[in-house]
Structure 1
Amino acid sequence: MMVFMMAMGVVQKPANAQGDLDVNAKAAILVEASTGKILYEKNSDTAQGIASMTKMMTEYLLLEAVEEGKVKWDQKYTVPTNVSKMSHNTSLSNVSLREEGTYTIKDLYESMAIYSANASAMAIAETIAGSEANFAKLMNKKAEELGLENYKFVNSSGLNNKDLAPYVDQVVGGAEEENVMSAKDTATLAYRLLNDYPEVLETSSIAKKMFAEGTEDQFNMPNWNWMLPGLIREYEGMDGLKTGTTDFAGACFTGTAERDGMRFITVVMNVDVSAGENSYDARFNETRKMLDYAFANYSIEEVLPANYQVKGQKTLPVEKGKEKEVQIKTDSPLSMVIKNGEKDQYKPEFVLDKKKLNDEGELTAPIKKGEKVGYVTLKSSEKNDLGYLTDKGTNASKSSVVAVESVEKANWFVLSMRAVGGFFGDIWNSITSTVKGWF
C-alpha cells in the first residue's frame, strides 16, 4: 500500500492550469475570448514593456473615432515634414510617406496594423488628437475607462522615447521611457478590442498587402505576425493581433486564434530566447504552446439547462400575496469554459437579490412572471480558479433566477383573515405548549 501511494504521488499532477503549462517568458496570460476567463497566468499583474503591442490601443481609439463619426476611413492625411522623416528611418518599422503627400486614414491604419508602421501610428494620433502628447492623454484616459490597472502610455507607437524624440517637439515622460502594461491589462485591451470592434480581425488577419498600390509609394507589407496562415510559422485559426519588440520590452506578442467556435487570447512578454533560437521564433513558439494547450484541454460546456431549479430552493415565500410562495427557475442555460474532465467539480450556488426581500427573507407581492429574484452561478470545489478579466465575464457565468408565475397581491379581506388566523394560531400554540408543560 505504501509503495502504491508513493507511486500515485509521483504520477498524479495537481489539477490546475498553472501546473500543466510552463511559458518561457517574463510574463504571460491565456484567456478564453468570449468571456475573458483566465486559464493560465504568469506574473500577469506586473507592468512590463509592451513595444508595438501599444498599437492595439491606437487601433481601439481610431475604431472608436470612426464609429463616432469623428474620423472617416477615406479621410485624407497630408504628411508633415516630421512624420515623413520618421517614415524614412529604416531602423524602425515603417512604410515611406512622402512629405506633403496625401494618404487615406484606411491606408495608414492598415500599414500600422499589418506592418507595424510607426510613422503611420503617429499620423493617426495627430489626426485624432492634434499631437502625440494629446493622444497619449487619450490613451491613458481610455485605459482607465477600460478598467486597466497597471499601465502607462507615453506615445502612440510603442517606440522608446529616444527614438521618437527627433520627430516631436517634446516627448511625454522620461527621455528613454516606453509604454508599459501588465500582461493582464494587455489581454484585457485585446479582449475589449475583439468584443467592441471585431472588425479589427479583418485587417490583423491579412498576411500580406501592398501599401498605396498603384502609386509611386507602393510598398509590400508582410505581416509581422508570422503565425498567420500562409506565413512561415502559420497556425490554424490564427487571425491577430499584434507583435512588439524593443530592447526594453524584449520580444512580445498578443495573439488570438479561433477553431470550431472557440477563441483564445494569448500574451507573452519578454520571452526567453534559447541558444540558437531567434526572438521571433521564441515568441511564436511560446504562443503556439499556449494555444495548443488551450484547444486540447478546454471547451465551453452547458452545465445547467434553462428552467433549472436549485435543489432545496425551488420556491420562495411570498408576503401579502394570493399565494404564499412562488416557484423559481433559471431563465437561460448556463455555460462555462471548463477543462476536460472537470465538469463535476462545479456545483450550482443560488444567490438571492437582497433588495427584493423583506427582513424575514420573503418576496413581497405583487410579483410578475419572469421577474428576476437572483441568479445561479457555479462554484468550483478546487481552489485553482483564476477568475475573469472583467466583470462582464463574471456576469457571463451567471444565469438569472426568475419567478415561474405571477403572484397578485391579496385583497384586504384575505390579509385580515390571515392576520386573525395567525393571532388565534399563536394563542392555540401557546395553550398547547403550556398544557404539555403540565405533564
Structure 2
Amino acid sequence: MNFSKRLHHYAVTGLIFILALILGFQSPFASTAKAADTLGIQAKSAILIDYNNGQILYEKNADQLYPPASMTKMMTEYLVMQALHSKKLTWDTKVSISDYAYQISQNRTYSNVPLRKDYQYTVRDLYEAMAIYSANGAAIALAEKIGGSEKNFANLMNQTAKKLGMTNAHYINSSGLENADLGKFASYGGSNGANELSARDLAKLAYHVIKDYPEALSISKIPVKNFTAGVDTPIQMVNWNYMLPGFGSNMKQYTYEGVDGLKTGHTDLAGYCFTGTVNRNGHRLISVVMGTSSDGQRFDQTKTLFDYGYQQFSEKAVAQNDQLIPGQKAIDVHNGQAGSVKLAFGKSMSLMVPNGENSGAAFHVTLDRSKLNKNGQLEAPVKKGEQIGYATLAAGGSTAYGHLFSNDNKIPVVAAEQVDQNSWIVRMFQGIGSFFAGIFSWIASRF
C-alpha cells in the first residue's frame, strides 16, 4: 500500500472512530429533545416544568423576552401575599382609590371592575378582582397601597425578581398594560414601553407563588365569583382561565382535570399568553406559553404540554437517602479508628424519565474543603450523617433540559458511618512515629 493510500485509510478509520465515540456518548435523553421538537407548540415561547423536582421537561425559546401582558400580575399577587404574611396588610385592610386606578378601572375594553374614588375597598376585594378577573385598576390600587406609588412598586417588583432568580425580568408597572394604554400614568419607559419577561422567568415566579404562598391557588382556581363591593348590581367575574374544572358545558373543550391556576394575559403586542399549573395525585406541573394567536389556542397548547408531561414521562428514583454513592471512593480519615469513611447520599432524588428509557443518572461529588485537612483528609471524629459535600447530577445523562433552579440537581453528601477518634495513647505513638519518619526522610535526602 503506497503512502497516499495508507494516509486515506487512516483518515477514514479515524473518522469512523470519532463518530463511534460521539454516538457512544450521546445522552439517553437525546431522543427526548427530538420528541419535544415534534410537539409543534404553536407559541413564540414555551416551557414545561415538573414542580416536584424543578426538572424542565420541554422548552422553546424559553429565554427570549416578550411582553407578558396580565401575567405581570403574578408578581403583584406575590408581593401582596408577602405583605399579608409579614403583617403589613390584612385581608380586611382598607384601600383608597387614586385618580390613576379610578381612570384605568373605568375602561371596560380592558379587564376591569369599575372602582369608586369615594369608596374604600378591602385588600380581599381587590385581590380577588385581580386574580380571578384580571382587573387592572384593582392591581394598580394594590400596588399603590404597598409601594406608595406604582413607580416604587415597580422597583420592588424588579428587586424581588432578582431575589427569585428571574435574571432577565424587567417590570415597569403592576398590571401588564403597555405604556401606550396607560398614557400619562406611565411610570417608566417611553410611549411604547412594556414589561418584558421570558417564559423561564415566569415559570420561576409561578413556582415561588405556589411554594411560598400556596393559598394563592385557593383564589386562582375560582371559576366564577360576583364582585359586590361598592356596586349596586353585582358584577359577575368569570375567570379568564378556561381550563379550570367547574365551568359550564360551553367551556368543556378547554377544561383539564387538576388545573388550579395560575394567570392568563393578552394584549395586541403580547398575543395570548398563559401560565398554567395542574396537580394530579400530588404530581404538579407548571407551564408557560407566550404569544399564541387566539384565546383558545393558549389553552390547547397548554393541554398539549400537560399531556406530554403526564403521558410521556415516568418518575424514577436515582438516589436514595443513606445509599452509598456508586463508584465513589472512600475518604481518608486522619486520627480515626478506621482509616477511611464511605460516602452516601444525604437525601433521595427522583427524576422524570421518558417512558422506556433508563435514567442514565451520574453524579459528580464535590467535597467541602473546610472539612478537610491540608492532606485532603477528614479529621476524626466523623459522625454518621455528617454532611461533607454535595453530589451534582452530571450533564447529559440525567435530564432532558436541566433544572429550573441550579440547586435542584444537588444532593447533600454525608458520611455513611461513624468514625471515632483514636485514643490519646494511639495518637501519641502515631505522632512519635511521624516525627521519626520525618527525621529519617530528611537524613535520606542528604545522602
TM range (shorter): 0.7 to 0.9
Q: Please show how residues 188-337 of structure 1 align to structure 2 within 5 Å.
A: 188-212=204-228, 216-231=232-247, 232=251, 233-271=254-292, 273=293, 279-313=294-328, 315-337=330-352
One of 48, 56, 62 as aligned partner of 1:30: 48
- In structure 2, the CA distance between the partners of 1:171 and 1:348, relative to structure 1 (3 Å rule), is closer
Tell me which residue corresponds to 1:174.
Answer: 190
Tell me which residue corresponds to 1:54.
Answer: 72
One of 107, 110, 114 as aligned partner of 2:128: 110
In 2: Cα distance, 1:294 partner to 1:205 partner: 21
In 2: Cα distance, 1:389 partner to 1:216 partner: 47
Q: Which moved more, 1:139-148 or 1:279-288?
A: 139-148
In 2: Cα distance, 1:296 partner to 1:226 partner: 22
- Deviation for aligned residue 1:384: 6.6
SS of residue in 1 equivalent to 2:288:
strand
- In structure 2, the CA distance between the partners of 1:207 and 1:333, relative to structure 1 (3 Å rule), is same
SS of residue in 2 equivalent to 1:152:
coil
8 Å contact kept, 2:343–2:413: no
In 2: Cα distance, 1:185 partner to 1:214 partner: 36
In 1: Cα distance, 2:148 partner to 2:434 partner: 77
Alignment of 1:408 onto 2:426: no
In 1: Cα distance, 2:47 partner to 2:264 partner: 15
- Deviation for aligned residue 1:318: 0.8
Tell me which residue corresponds to 1:163.
Answer: 181
Tell me which residue corresponds to 2:157.
Answer: 139
- Deviation for aligned residue 1:417: 4.1
Q: Please show how residues 89-108 of structure 1 align to structure 2 within 5 Å.
A: 89-108=107-126
Superposed CA deviations along residues 27-77 of structure 1, whole A, max 9, x for unmatched, are 111111123211111111111110000000000111001111111110112
- In structure 2, the CA distance between the partners of 1:101 and 1:421, relative to structure 1 (3 Å rule), is closer
Tell me which residue corresponds to 1:366.
Answer: 381
8 Å contact kept, 1:48–1:180: yes
- Runs of at least 5 residues in structure 1 that lack an aligned partner in the other structure: 1-11, 274-278, 432-439
8 Å contact kept, 2:316–2:350: yes
- Deviation for aligned residue 1:186: 0.9
In 2: Cα distance, 1:412 partner to 1:322 partner: 12
SS of residue in 2 equivalent to 1:343:
coil
SS of residue in 2 equivalent to 1:181:
coil
- Deviation for aligned residue 1:327: 3.5
One of 66, 72, 76 as aligned partner of 2:90: 72
TM-score (norm 2): 0.84
- Deviation for aligned residue 1:21: 2.6
Q: Which moved more, 1:375-384 or 1:401-410?
A: 375-384
SS of residue in 1 equivalent to 2:302:
helix
In 1: Cα distance, 2:432 partner to 2:378 partner: 18
- In structure 2, the CA distance between the partners of 1:341 and 1:355, relative to structure 1 (3 Å rule), is farther
Superposed CA deviations along residues 222-258 of structure 1, whole A, max 9, x for unmatched, are 1000110123111111110000011111111100101
SS of residue in 1 equivalent to 2:48:
strand
Tell me which residue corresponds to 1:14.
Answer: 31
Matched to 2:414, the amino acid is: V
In 2: Cα distance, 1:392 partner to 1:313 partner: 21
Aligned pairs, number? 409
Percentage of matched positions with identical amino acids: 42
8 Å contact kept, 1:252–1:269: yes
Superposed CA deviations along residues 328-376 of structure 1, whole A, max 9, x for unmatched, are 3333333223332333422344333233223433211232232112233
Q: Which moved more, 1:332-341 or 1:189-198?
A: 332-341
In 2: Cα distance, 1:381 partner to 1:264 partner: 23
- Deviation for aligned residue 1:391: 3.0
In 2: Cα distance, 1:155 partner to 1:214 partner: 25
Matched to 1:203, the amino acid is: I
Matched to 1:284, the amino acid is: F
Matched to 2:113, the amino acid is: V
- Deviation for aligned residue 1:393: 2.0
8 Å contact kept, 2:32–2:354: no
In 1: Cα distance, 2:178 partner to 2:327 partner: 61
8 Å contact kept, 2:30–2:400: no
In 2: Cα distance, 1:225 partner to 1:61 partner: 21
The structure with the largest strand share of the pair is 1
- In structure 2, the CA distance between the partners of 1:155 and 1:331, relative to structure 1 (3 Å rule), is closer
One of 388, 391, 402 as aligned partner of 2:406: 391
- In structure 2, the CA distance between the partners of 1:243 and 1:102, relative to structure 1 (3 Å rule), is same
